[in-house]
Structure 1
Amino acid sequence: MTRLADVGDYRKFWAASTTSIFGTYVTSLALQVLAALTLHATATEIGLLNAARWVPYLVLGLFVGVLVDRYRSKPLLVGADFARAVVLCAIPLLHLAGLLTLPVLIAVAGLLGLLSLFFDSADQAFLPKLVPVRMLTSANARLEQSHAVAQTTGPLLAAALVKTIGAPLAILLDAISYLISGVLLAGIGTREQSAPRAQRRSVLAELREGVTWVYRHRMLAPQAVAGHLWWLAHNVLTTVQVLYVLRAPDSGLGLGEVQLGITYACAGVGAVAGGALANRSGRRFGAGRTVVTTRVLMPLPWLLVPLTGPGPAATVLLGLSQLLFWVLMGVEGPNEMAYRQAITPARLQGRVNTTIRSLNRGAIVLGAPLGGLIADATSLRTALWAGIAGLIASAAVLAASPARHATLPEPQTTR
């Protein structure tokens, strides 16, 4: 039986993804350093810079999904990588020429977000073409593990590079990572077919078909709705968590940046461990039961955060909370994605994945400020409890739906 490691095209795909995700963490930090220290941006302006990346997902995400379904994924992936490399190279050049201003930097961040939207949409549509259905959970888990390692070590690497060679040159290194990713993807030999012109309709008609397919599907619709609630609640929690950890004991725990970094490192370790269990769990219990069970359990580790008080045990409890939560995330994510990719017709992969992703990104934009508003109006602990309640609501929607019975389609056999 063919193993995932034997699929050469997937190895290139995984290597490209891993290379570019580490570079992305470098740029995320370097852009903020450039804005804060070089361009003297205010907190609001840095907020606008960070938000600029997600605006294309909200405004154009559904339309990009239509384009991904019309055309081959590989050229879109390679083109987006090379284009991102060029855009990033422009930042140090503009800086050297004295032409880099905050509006220019925000515009660059928005353009990078648009290119990333194309890449992400094509990326999720391309994976099911590289591996058989039975390998989708393992393939997604391997990618999630790479992202988890990048989440843990990427910010440390980024900070070291920015401090050693400066933000502009650190961004240049990210440009190189995108070039490497593009070359690796260009070497993938899997053949694709564009959608026949005779089958194409208006963009709006195809867009509506994708949205309708998601929200009328017996299994996928509750997964999507529960996912939107989850992203909203999770971003309430992650926004408030930073303030709760760092603020003085009268309103939080009064810990330092180092302790906060330790909790993030624990999250990365948990995600890697969970990813290692994802395929085994999906095979034994089924994708639906795995996803529902992990969602039901996810609020429990978060209970440790508002229940933790100042003291020497605080860092340990917070680290344990993030470790356990991300173990569950590492198990859940690959199973949910594998099921979605397995049941979605090839002609709808781009639209289905982009529809769900775009609305999830919209939940991020809403969840972060909502957490801050609740905390300012009440308290940090109350905001944390509100986020936990949101996770419980997401789990309830999923557990009460037919999605708990979801299983990956059995592979077709020939006699």
Structure 2
Amino acid sequence: MNRKLRIGVIGGGIGGAALTASLQQWGMEAHLFERTAAFREVGAGVQMTPNAVKVLKALGLDGELQRLGYLPQAIVGRNWRTGREKFRTPLSDACPQLFGAEFYHLHRADLLAMLIGLVDARFITHNARCVSVLNLDGKAVARFDNGEQFEADVIVGADGVHSVVRDALFGDEAPRFTGHICWRAAIALGERSDFISPVSAVWLGPNGHVVTYTISGGRVLNIVAVSEAADWQEASWHLPSNRDELLRTFSGWHPDLLRILSCAQNVLKWGLFDRDPMQRWSQGHITLLGDAAHPMLPFLAQGAAMAIEDGYVLASVLAANAGDIPEALRLYEDERLPRTSRVQLSARERGKIYHLPTPWQQFRRDVRYRFNALMNPHACGLEANWVFSYDATAFSPPAGETRPFGG
């Protein structure tokens, strides 16, 4: 093609911002449409595992990661009642050697700001609520609630688990409530050195678990607490909560954990929803990315990471196949669908392992953790070597001739 590809990205979350930044650095005309008046991220912390950090570094964010991120020494699993250590997976020293990049803890707002900072502000539109998309005469069109529309070579739905773009392509099918409720909260540490830990702690209990880890360069403690529930009756998928509800839910857990929960601030709760893996994400010149394509439970800490990988791979296939959009989207699906499907299903399974309800089941799991740790400390706990070792920046589209990144 003699002109730049024109691409519309629906949704200004982490996945949409990562995609738009990648497309623009490939020299494409990428427009980002966000339905709210300002970019915002609900929830405090996000774990950027080595597979995602490789992409962020390729985008030029190494310095920002070092400035705003936190490098945990390890992930440590603990018993919910006794506090006894069940597994320890080294991170800060091991990840660069084993996987080629670091493992960072970040504030979600910091991560989003980093990515938005890479996007040309002239191509960002706020208060743009997409109501429909369609393929029309070899193009894609997005329509918005103010009556305006945007025509492009490609439209990408990065608009989350309740995706308008997905519904337009594949029908309005509600996501499945997974039987989990998640509380997120934070503690501004200030001078409270007693809460600062160099590790990410995972408290494993019957029918629930709690994760605590430091973000914002060590200034904030992030809390993610998950408990099982029969249903989710609320009209909204996330709601304000409070520390009293959090403490009631985890009553009887270890005193150290309850001391942390008793200081929780800005408590929110979610019903966790997901979907089964899809057979395809694209129709014509329209495709999906991130949670719109593969919403997943947070138990492998891969929701944002998968969206970031998606964005990099999609940008590379579009750059290499600008003259054949359907082929580019086929290559994108061929590369990403098997991986994201495996991560979706593995995250579900990890939730079951973390939440084993009986002492006997927990004992058998913990024995396996100890045995695996003797062989390889990265073979216990997360058991995510296959996730972390992937490198989206090494993906080479099989068709066409690519330009150097940023060219």
TM (norm. structure 2) is: 0.27
Which structure has the highest helix share of the two?
1
TM-score of the superposition, structure 1-length normalised?
0.27
Larger relative CO (CA 8 A, sep 6+): 1 or 2?
1
